[in-house]
Structure 1
Amino acid sequence: MNLKVIILLNVLTFLKLIQANHHHDHDKANLKDHHHKKSIEPKFAWHQLLFKDLPSDSDDLEEEFIPYNNVPMGVSKWGDKLIITVPRRKPGIPSTLNYIKLKQHSSKHEDNHNIDVPLIPYPNLDVNKLRLTPTPDTLNLVSIYRTTVDECDRLWMVDTGLLEYTRNRTYVRSPRILVLDLNKNEFIHQFEIADELHTPKSTFASIAVDVTPNHCDQTFAYIPDLSANQVVVYDMKNQKAWKVNHDSFHGEPDGGKFDINGLQFQLPDGIFSIALSPHQEAGLRTAYYHALASTNEYSVSTNVLKNQSKFNDNVFIRLGDKGIKQETNCFVMDQKTGVLFYNQVNINALACWNIKKPFNQKNHVQLFNDNDRYIYPSDITSDGHGNIWVMTNKLPFFIFQGLNSTDINFRIWSFRVSDLISHTNCA
């Protein structure tokens, strides 16, 4: 046989093998994705929220509790408690800070998740009772969006003090930073955010907590103000707070366009959340952040945020653009792996990026997607033990279209970090 023919046949055979292996790998990837989606079930799910210990004999119960208006927003896990927030965006919210006892609702079957489990007001119902004329020394909660658990077993939150009823935003009291001792189930600290640090349109929807290792008293909190496009920084030890402003805290002029399962809307929200890197030399960390109305990601040293003096614009670094329809509200850093997990709210998905790797499309990995059940992930947190927790709540549908109370509308998910990133570019 002609030597050229033999070489050509060998080349063709080699190409067929490559093609076969490519299809095999593609099938394996699809099978992995398919298995991943079908095998993961939410830990909890609700048609509508229910609450324990509401007084059945109250004359005002119908006004104090309007089931349809209760939409859960945040989720944090500590010990046996799964903490769930319900901000007062509508009337009829009996309790803004709540929890579930996990051990009472554990299941050995992944597909047997718990449905319509009543929430327990935390630390009790009286603290959560809405009082329209609170006295200065009372600690009654008004409205909380999201919480953060720190390494000192403390639960941090911002009580916005705001009733965000439709066309009637009303401040019941000034916004406050609150800290709760999770071992004692009691509030141990509060700090009022001064008037000069917020505006009538301010929205404090999340909080990042930066504890100096082995020094719980040396803690800073970074609080994004998504409506006023600024960050409030709080120094716990010195009982001081100040605000930081930068152009990167704003949304993009053409950003914030959403199309979720056919529901189209636009949100102008600026800086939405902050995630902190593992500790570096001298106790410093990198703060990662983004606006909701943008697909760009940024970073800045916490040293800049902690320093009240003026700074150069070049200390705020644009890392890059995540791409079309990659808007993100909340994200969280896994401190052990240095992997940033973020919600892709525009496409009902969860994704990741390992901060040790370049910020490019290749290293941004979609881990989970479900257009039927993972609709609008509103919060994502780490429990510090290798798991992340996600709340999905269909919020845009509640605002713009309405929810069907016979459907499952709210879900809480739990993912094992090691399982999520295994054999991906986030590992």
Structure 2
Amino acid sequence: MTSSQKLKRRSTTPWSTEPDDNDQHHGFSYRDTLQDYHHYGEFGRKRNYFPHYHFHGYNEIRMTNVMPLLVSMTLLGLQEYSAQGPDLLEQISQELEPPRIPEGGYRVSSSSFLTPEILNSMRSGRFSESQYSTSYGNNGNDITFTEPSLSFEPPDNSIPIEDKPGPSMELVFAWRTVDFEFESEAARERAIFEGNYIPENNLPLGLELWHDRVFVTLPKWRSGVPATLTTAPRFTKDKSPKLRPYPSWGWHHQGSCGGMTSVFRVQVDECDRLWVLDSGTVNLTADPKQICPPAIFIFDLRTDRLLRRYQIPEDQVKQDSLWSNIVVDIRDGNCNSARAYLADVWRFAVIVYDFSNDTSFRIQHHFFLPDPLSARYELHGIQFQWMDGILGLALSPVDINNDRTLFFHPMSSFREFAVSTAVLNDKDTAETSPESFMPVGKPRAKDYGHSSGSAIDKHGVMFMNMVTRDSVWCWDTRKEYIPQNLGVIGVSNESLIFPNDLRVDHEDRQSFWTISNRLPMYLYGPWNPNDINFRVYRAYVDEAVRNTVCDPNYIVPESENGYDETC
């Protein structure tokens, strides 16, 4: 490729995307477009092994680019922590079986969740004819499964009202494909005709709650997504409501960088403001393009008016950056002192944004990197590799020192990490004190320990989505982070396939909200628009953790303590 061709390709981006000196120092090398990648095989498979092999090729090249950095940073990390003893690196496993895939596709199950009385009467074991039971986490209950090929019934045209992956979890919404509240039927038909609305290309990913509205994000993985941030009414009999663009259709014109481009996740703060992290990146599955600079939009939810738009400075945005998560920290009800933490999942960094000064800075640490040993995923017969870095972000309650802890984890990792926000908020301290970032406890599991979204309630209980286990887990942050102290809130190999985002609301009686979206099926197939593909659940946190190891009133027996004295 000639220099003029490279320049022409890069001219579609509104700012320079040349790698900086630091990138070259760490061994990064970049190619210009996906057209240059197509001759690469899919990790030893034929290029068209999956329907959307372009996305696989892109991930493979990203993996190749970051491997030198991963190896060097891993060696540094091992040297730093080896002094603490070999127990730190020991892999602990719950030995849970991976999710099973029903033959012939995914069908709606009519079976209901068994009562605790029945569950407690069953013993752990293997398949016996069509049923088996197994204990998930330390929650005191066994969860019984039925052989999928025998229990799944043909789908009907109705949305099941009672669909409980766990005793406390309530189905809020369920969609096969999502539709929107267009300004008119003619506008809807025109959007379909012009390719601006392709129903099967719309994938809900992030969610948030404020009073009577549920916010749902739809990143632009592919074309045909007319609005990237929407709302649905919280109180409605319709289990599949049409989505309303937020704050209006005028904010969703692709190519207009004054509006929103492609939003992965949002956060509501205690000051009734909505923080929207716009990645500015579209067409992620085929030919990713950064058509607008990444930015934070802050809306007043009482008026739906924009309070501020902050564009992330160019020197803090790297080539291939993907901004995928945001959490907001407020102390003592002082809305002007807010800070936001943004995760760059593809270039392994956190940006700290100071609302009062309207400034930000970028922090990098080797704990933000993916673990190469955890980059292999297997879900319902689909195998793929992702080198995704820091994604999960969860803030603890304020402690006696008026400080909070940011818990975080890379997507491709089985570990949880933590850092004090007092360290994170000071750029010099964060850069000169890498030892202030700490691993927490032990790995979640030996296999299938990938977690996406996580959030912590006001009592310090963390809820986390386990994407390769079709389940939602919990952990009381005052206890050791070891498998014995992890509980399971809900699990279903039908209705919780790839639970993606999770949030805890600000109600007096808090609930956690989670959304499952079958993302691997969307990316790699099989994808059936006639199946129920997207579900939103909620559960009161006090009911969810009752009688589990995550209950703040649960006392860990003495024999279970002292498992990991080094962390």
- 1:52–1:67 CA distance, 2 compared to 1 (3 A): same
- Of 446, 457, 463, the residue aligned with 1:341 is 463
- Of 317, 323, 327, the residue aligned with 2:438 is 317
The answer for the alignment partner of 1:14 in structure 2 is none
Runs of 4+ in 1 over 6 A off after TM superposition: 31-36
Equivalent runs, 1:43-54 vs 2, <5 Å: 43-54=172-183
Amino acid at match of 1:261: H
| Cα displacement (A) at 1:265 | 1.1
Amino acid at match of 1:308: K
Distance 1:125 1:152 in 2: 25
The answer for the alignment partner of 1:179 in structure 2 is 298
Equivalent runs, 1:361-376 vs 2, <5 Å: 361-376=483-498
- 1:30–1:36 CA distance, 2 compared to 1 (3 A): farther
Amino acid at match of 2:418: S
Give the secondary structure class of the aligned counterpart of 1:212.
coil
Give the secondary structure class of the aligned counterpart of 2:283.
strand
Deviation per CA, 1:367-402, whole angstroms, max 9, x where unpaired? 210001100111000112210100100011000114
Identity of aligned residues (%): 27
- Of 56, 64, 70, the residue aligned with 2:202 is 70
| Cα displacement (A) at 1:163 | 1.2
Amino acid at match of 1:128: H
| Cα displacement (A) at 1:317 | 0.6
The answer for the alignment partner of 1:215 in structure 2 is 334
| Cα displacement (A) at 1:53 | 2.1
Amino acid at match of 2:426: N
Question: Which consecutive residues of structure 1, in runs of 5 or more, have no partner in the other structure?
Answer: 1-22, 107-113
Contact 2:276 2:296 in 1 (8 A): yes
The answer for the alignment partner of 2:541 in structure 1 is 417
Amino acid at match of 1:286: T
> Which has the higher mean CA deviation after the structures are superposed, 223-232 or 167-176?
167-176
Distance 2:121 2:416 in 1: 35
The answer for the alignment partner of 2:425 in structure 1 is 306
Deviation per CA, 1:58-85, whole angstroms, max 9, x where unpaired? 5454211111110001111110000111
Contact 1:48 1:116 in 2 (8 A): no
Distance 2:374 2:282 in 1: 27
| Cα displacement (A) at 1:26 | 5.0
| Cα displacement (A) at 1:100 | 0.9
Amino acid at match of 1:47: R
Bigger strand share: 1
Distance 1:36 1:174 in 2: 41
The answer for the alignment partner of 2:382 in structure 1 is 263
- 1:133–1:262 CA distance, 2 compared to 1 (3 A): same
The answer for the alignment partner of 1:29 in structure 2 is 141
Deviation per CA, 1:101-129, whole angstroms, max 9, x where unpaired? 223x15xxxxxxx4431001111111122
Distance 1:342 1:80 in 2: 24
Give the secondary structure class of the aligned counterpart of 2:367.
helix
The answer for the alignment partner of 1:382 in structure 2 is 504
Distance 2:241 2:197 in 1: 16
Number of equivalences:
392
Question: Which consecutive residues of structure 2, in runs of 5 or more, have no partner in the other structure?
Answer: 1-119, 125-139, 147-162, 552-567
| Cα displacement (A) at 1:168 | 1.9
The answer for the alignment partner of 1:57 in structure 2 is 186
Distance 1:362 1:25 in 2: 20
The answer for the alignment partner of 2:479 in structure 1 is 357
- Of 351, 368, 372, the residue aligned with 1:253 is 372
> Which has the higher mean CA deviation after the structures are superposed, 86-95 or 26-35?
26-35
| Cα displacement (A) at 1:313 | 2.1
Amino acid at match of 2:435: N
The answer for the alignment partner of 2:353 in structure 1 is 234
The answer for the alignment partner of 1:289 in structure 2 is 408
- Of 394, 398, 421, the residue aligned with 1:275 is 394
- TM-score, with length taken from structure 1: 0.87
Contact 2:166 2:489 in 1 (8 A): no
Distance 1:71 1:54 in 2: 21
Give the secondary structure class of the aligned counterpart of 1:405.
coil
